[in-house]
């Protein structure tokens, strides 16, 4: 056998033959041409034909026209499985019919066809079909040879059976191979479709997961932006509160220092006016002037005492108290500060709430805030006072001032008043700043100082026409650490006497009233000496004690006591003054009956009991 690898001519011929047989159109044309050649030869040269020569020529022409029609078919039809099967079936019928018409029909040839069909049906590869077909053709040739030996003749139809078998074997092999290939391709296609469907399902799942992650990321981003904005607002608020605190501390130190200096001057004024009054005759025209100087000095001394109290560096002695009990005790006092057209709602909750604070300072803060809320509702409205215990993870949807350590006691006062603009809010805690003409502007300054001294935090939220909300935060304390406030025998002794309380300052009067009523005293209150005279005229019982300022606009404390004693001869008097003991002595007043202002509530109770028990 020649080596085709070293023979270029054979290599090129082999490549052309390979391309010829692998191309669908050329392969069908070649095979169909072979079939047509064999069948045409059979029809044209068959000796025992059962049809006429014209019919044979017509059939031959039809075979070659079929090849021409086959050449014109598109590749999509030629590559389809049904076309191959149809062409094989048609050729089988043609071969069978031509063999019969040519007069060469024999049982051995049909048996060979039948065996060929069985071989093609049982074998799935073209090479195997061709190999078995060759064996079948060889066997058929042996049969023909033996027949020719016996008969001594060999006809043309017998010789044509062998090539016909080979060509049909090729057709059968191609049809079966195409069917197998189509089936495999169909299986692969179904597998690919299932894989694509599975991939599509996985992509849908991943898409859903991705969308969920994107949604979560958007929510996290929105939450982070919201927290960032809240942090910026909180930082601005914290910076503003820090500036306010620093400004208040500086103002408190300056005011206290100046007040101390002026207090010394007013003390001198008080002493010398006392000496002057002791040398003037009752009808001396200068006596009224000296007395007026004494009164003005008393007012100035009172103001300096308030300024001294603004020194925020002082440390109060705090005690663990029940905030619930404090609100319960002063509820009636708060109600008395409000007119009938303002509705008071107090919600203290059921949970115990304790804080380490100065009780008197807390009451002072609450009453100042109630008065401010009342003044913001001249046409009536509603005041809501709430007490809550705020734990670390509760109330998470609410915004709290930064820097708080939980748990916290929250006291919240909400009014439906006129509200404040930002400019007013920025100055509301400054000394001597007030929107009311009759107020010297130290109330909210004192509130700020008291809250700070008690370790609390103050937060104000207000809008013009939308009311104001004031929140007080104090660190919560444990009830196991409760310590009672300092007391004495006179403080613990409960009285049932009747006391006339005269005080121009409304909040100071209400605080004193609340303290006296807790000790079971029957208290008559008045805002001035004239009102005090009117109250006592309506009162039919015994008056045991009068508590009044030493200096008042219409009538002084001593003159008021003198007039009252005309109807209540057993009544005793306790005077409140901002002058020190030495100045009081210069005015010939017994120090035993003078309470120096500012005073604490238990100091008032102790002094009242002391005066009442005095012989």
Confidence grade of residue 606 (pLDDT, cut at 50, 70, 90): very high
Q: Which two tokens stand for residue 316?
A: 């109060």
Question: Is 335 part of a structural domain of the chain?
Answer: yes
Confidence grade of residue 193 (pLDDT, cut at 50, 70, 90): confident
| 11 and 143 housed in the same domain | yes
Question: Is 207 part of a structural domain of the chain?
Answer: no
Please spell the DSSP secondary structure of 213-269, one letter per residue: HHHHHHHHHHHHHHHHHHHHHHHHHHHHHHHHHHHHHHHHHHHHHHHHHHHHHHHHH
Average pLDDT over residues 270-276: 60
Confidence at residue 189, expressed as pLDDT on a 0 to 100 scale: 82
Question: HSE (CB half, 13 Å, CA atoms) of 288?
Answer: 3
Q: Quick check: helix, strand or coil at residue 179?
A: helix
Average pLDDT over residues 384-393: 85
Domain count, the chain: 3
Residue count of the chain, please give it.
Answer: 615
Residue 101 has pLDDT above 60, yes or no: yes
The arrangement of strands across the sheet holding 342-347 comes to 342-347, 381-390, 408-415, 467-475, 457-463
Q: How many whole angstroms from its chain centre is CA 402?
A: 18
Confidence at residue 561, expressed as pLDDT on a 0 to 100 scale: 93
Per-residue pLDDT tens digits for 33-80: 666 766 676 677 666 667 777 787 888 888 788 878 877 888 777 777
Residue 302 has pLDDT above 70, yes or no: no
Confidence at residue 5, expressed as pLDDT on a 0 to 100 scale: 46
Name, in order, each residue with C-beta under 8 angstroms of 80's C-beta and a sequence gap of 6 or more: none
Confidence at residue 2, expressed as pLDDT on a 0 to 100 scale: 46
The single residue listed with the structure tokens 């404390």 is 557
Most confident region among 55-64, 304-313, 512-521 by mean pLDDT: 512-521
Residue 106 has pLDDT above 60, yes or no: no
Confidence at residue 367, expressed as pLDDT on a 0 to 100 scale: 92
φ, ψ at 458 (rounded to 5°): -115, 130
Residue 577 has pLDDT above 90, yes or no: no
Rounded to 10 deg, the angle between the 107-122 and 156-279 helix axes is: 20
Residue 439 has pLDDT above 50, yes or no: no
| CATH code of the domain covering residue 372 | 3.30.565.10
Interatomic CA distance for residues 72 and 372, integer angstroms: 106
Question: Is 385 part of a structural domain of the chain?
Answer: yes
Average pLDDT, the chain: 75
Average pLDDT over residues 287-302: 64
Confidence at residue 525, expressed as pLDDT on a 0 to 100 scale: 95
| 523 and 426 housed in the same domain | no
Confidence at residue 1, expressed as pLDDT on a 0 to 100 scale: 44
Average pLDDT over residues 181-194: 78
Average pLDDT over residues 202-219: 89
Closest to 409 measured CA to CA, from 470, 472, 465: 472
Question: Is 295 part of a structural domain of the chain?
Answer: no
**Domain boundary pick from 186, 205, 230:** 186
| 341 and 414 housed in the same domain | yes
Domain carrying residue 329: 319-392+403-481
Question: Is 600 part of a structural domain of the chain?
Answer: yes
Residue 377 has pLDDT above 70, yes or no: yes
Average pLDDT over residues 534-552: 92
Interatomic CA distance for residues 215 and 240, integer angstroms: 37
**Domain boundary pick from 171, 186, 201:** 186
Question: Is 165 part of a structural domain of the chain?
Answer: yes
Rounded to 10 deg, the angle between the 359-375 and 323-337 helix axes is: 40
| CATH code of the domain covering residue 569 | 3.40.50.2300
Question: Is 89 part of a structural domain of the chain?
Answer: yes
| 568 and 601 housed in the same domain | yes
Residue 574 has pLDDT above 90, yes or no: yes
Q: How far is CA 344 from CA 145, 240, 362, 383, 465, in A?
A: 132, 31, 19, 5, 19
Confidence at residue 542, expressed as pLDDT on a 0 to 100 scale: 93
Q: How many whole angstroms from its chain centre is CA 73?
A: 71
| 122 and 67 housed in the same domain | yes
| 513 and 475 housed in the same domain | no
Confidence at residue 416, expressed as pLDDT on a 0 to 100 scale: 94
Confidence grade of residue 490 (pLDDT, cut at 50, 70, 90): very low
| 50 and 175 housed in the same domain | yes
Name, in order, each residue with C-beta under 8 angstroms of 238's C-beta and a sequence gap of 6 or more: 401, 402, 403
| 523 and 416 housed in the same domain | no
φ, ψ at 280 (rounded to 5°): -85, 145
Interatomic CA distance for residues 149 and 176, integer angstroms: 37
Strand bridging mode 354-357 / 319-322: antiparallel
Average pLDDT over residues 348-364: 85
The single residue listed with the structure tokens 């100042």 is 368
Count H helices, E strands: the chain?
Answer: 19, 12
Confidence at residue 489, expressed as pLDDT on a 0 to 100 scale: 46
Say what percent of the chain tops pLDDT 70. 56
Per-residue pLDDT tens digits for 211-267: 888 989 888 888 888 878 766 766 666 566 666 666 666 665 666 666 566 556 656
Residue 411 has pLDDT above 90, yes or no: yes
Confidence at residue 257, expressed as pLDDT on a 0 to 100 scale: 65
Closest to 452 measured CA to CA, from 302, 579, 313, 572: 313
Confidence at residue 465, expressed as pLDDT on a 0 to 100 scale: 87
Please spell the DSSP secondary structure of 277-328, one letter per residue: HHHS-TT-HHHHHHHHHHHHHHHHHHHHHHHHTT-TT-----EEEEHHHHHH
| 475 and 540 housed in the same domain | no
Q: Count the neighbouring beta carbons within 10 Å of the beta carbon of residue 606.
A: 20
| 444 and 564 housed in the same domain | no
| 452 and 524 housed in the same domain | no
Residue 548 has pLDDT above 70, yes or no: yes
For the chain, the maximum distance between any two Cα atoms, rounded to a whole number of angstroms, is 189
Most confident region among 3-12, 281-290, 379-388 by mean pLDDT: 379-388
Contact 602, 487 (CB under 8 A): yes
Task: Select the more confidently predicted residue: 132 or 613.
Answer: 613
| 449 and 364 housed in the same domain | yes
Question: Is 542 part of a structural domain of the chain?
Answer: yes
Per-residue pLDDT tens digits for 366-375: 999 999 899 9
Contact 387, 324 (CB under 8 A): yes
**Domain boundary pick from 436, 458, 481:** 481
Interatomic CA distance for residues 306 and 276, integer angstroms: 28
φ, ψ at 74 (rounded to 5°): -70, 160
């Amino acid at each position: 056998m020649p080596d085709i690898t070293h023979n270029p001519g054979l290599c090129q011929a082999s490549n052309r033959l390979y391309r010829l047989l692998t191309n669908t159109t050329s392969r069908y044309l070649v095979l169909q041409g072979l079939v047509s050649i064999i069948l045409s030869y059979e029809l044209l040269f068959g000796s025992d034909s059962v049809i006429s020569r014209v019919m044979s020529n017509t059939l031959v022409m039809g075979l070659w026209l079929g090849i021409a029609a086959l050449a014109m078919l598109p590749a999509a039809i030629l590559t389809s499985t049904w076309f191959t099967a149809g062409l094989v079936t048609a050729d089988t019928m043609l071969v069978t019919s031509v063999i019969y018409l040519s007069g060469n029909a024999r049982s051995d040839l049909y048996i060979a066809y039948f065996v060929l069909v069985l071989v093609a049906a049982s074998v799935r590869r073209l090479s195997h079909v061709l190999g078995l077909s060759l064996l079948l053709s060889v066997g058929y040739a042996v049969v023909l040879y033996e027949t020719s030996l016996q008969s001594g003749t060999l006809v043309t139809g017998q010789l044509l059976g062998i090539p016909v078998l080979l060509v049909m074997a090729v057709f059968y092999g191609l049809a079966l191979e195409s069917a197998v290939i189509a089936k495999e391709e169909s299986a692969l296609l179904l597998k690919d479709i299932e894989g694509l469907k599975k991939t599509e399902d996985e992509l849908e799942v991943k898409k859903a997961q991705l969308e969920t992650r994107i949604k979560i990321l958007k929510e996290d981003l929105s939450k982070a932006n919201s927290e960032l904005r809240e942090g910026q607002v909180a930082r601005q608020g914290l910076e503003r509160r820090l500036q306010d605190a620093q400004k208040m501390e500086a103002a408190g130190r300056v005011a206290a220092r100046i007040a101390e200096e002026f207090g010394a001057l007013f003390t001198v004024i008080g002493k010398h006016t006392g000496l002057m009054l002791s040398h003037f005759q009752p009808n001396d025209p200068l006596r009224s002037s000296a007395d007026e100087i004494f009164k003005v000095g008393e007012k100035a001394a009172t103001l300096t005492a308030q300024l001294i109290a603004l020194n925020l560096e002082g440390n109060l002695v705090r005690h663990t108290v029940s905030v619930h009990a404090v609100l319960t005790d002063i509820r009636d006092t708060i109600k008395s500060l409000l007119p009938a057209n303002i509705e008071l709602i107090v919600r203290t909750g059921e949970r115990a709430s304790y804080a380490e604070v100065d009780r008197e300072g807390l009451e002072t803060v609450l009453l100042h805030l109630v008065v401010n809320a009342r003044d913001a509702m001249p046409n009536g409205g509603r005041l809501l006072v709430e007490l809550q215990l705020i734990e670390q993870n509760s109330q998470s949807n609410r915004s709290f001032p930064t820097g708080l350590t939980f748990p916290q006691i929250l006291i919240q006062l909400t009014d439906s008043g006129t509200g404040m603009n930002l400019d007013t809010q920025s100055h509301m805690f400054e000394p001597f700043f007030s929107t009311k003409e009759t107020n010297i502007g130290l109330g909210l300054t004192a509130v700020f100082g008291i809250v700070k001294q008690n370790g609390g935090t103050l937060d104000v939220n207000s809008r013009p026409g939308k009311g104001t909300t004031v929140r007080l935060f104090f660190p919560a304390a444990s009830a196991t650490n409760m310590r009672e406030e300092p007391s004495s025998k006179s403080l613990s002794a409960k009285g049932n006497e009747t006391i006339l309380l005269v005080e121009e300052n409304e909040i100071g009067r209400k605080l004193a009233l609340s303290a006296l009523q807790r000790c079971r005293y029957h208290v008559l209150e008045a805002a001035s000496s004239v009102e005090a005279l009117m109250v006592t005229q309506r009162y039919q019982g015994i008056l045991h004690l009068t508590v009044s300022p030493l200096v008042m606009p219409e009538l002084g404390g001593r003159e008021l006591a003198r007039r009252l004693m005309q109807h209540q001869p057993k009544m005793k008097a306790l005077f409140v003054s901002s002058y020190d003991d030495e100045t009081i002595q210069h005015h010939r007043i017994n120090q035993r009956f003078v309470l120096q202002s500012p005073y604490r509530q238990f100091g008032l109770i102790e002094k009242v009991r002391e005066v009442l028990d005095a012989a």
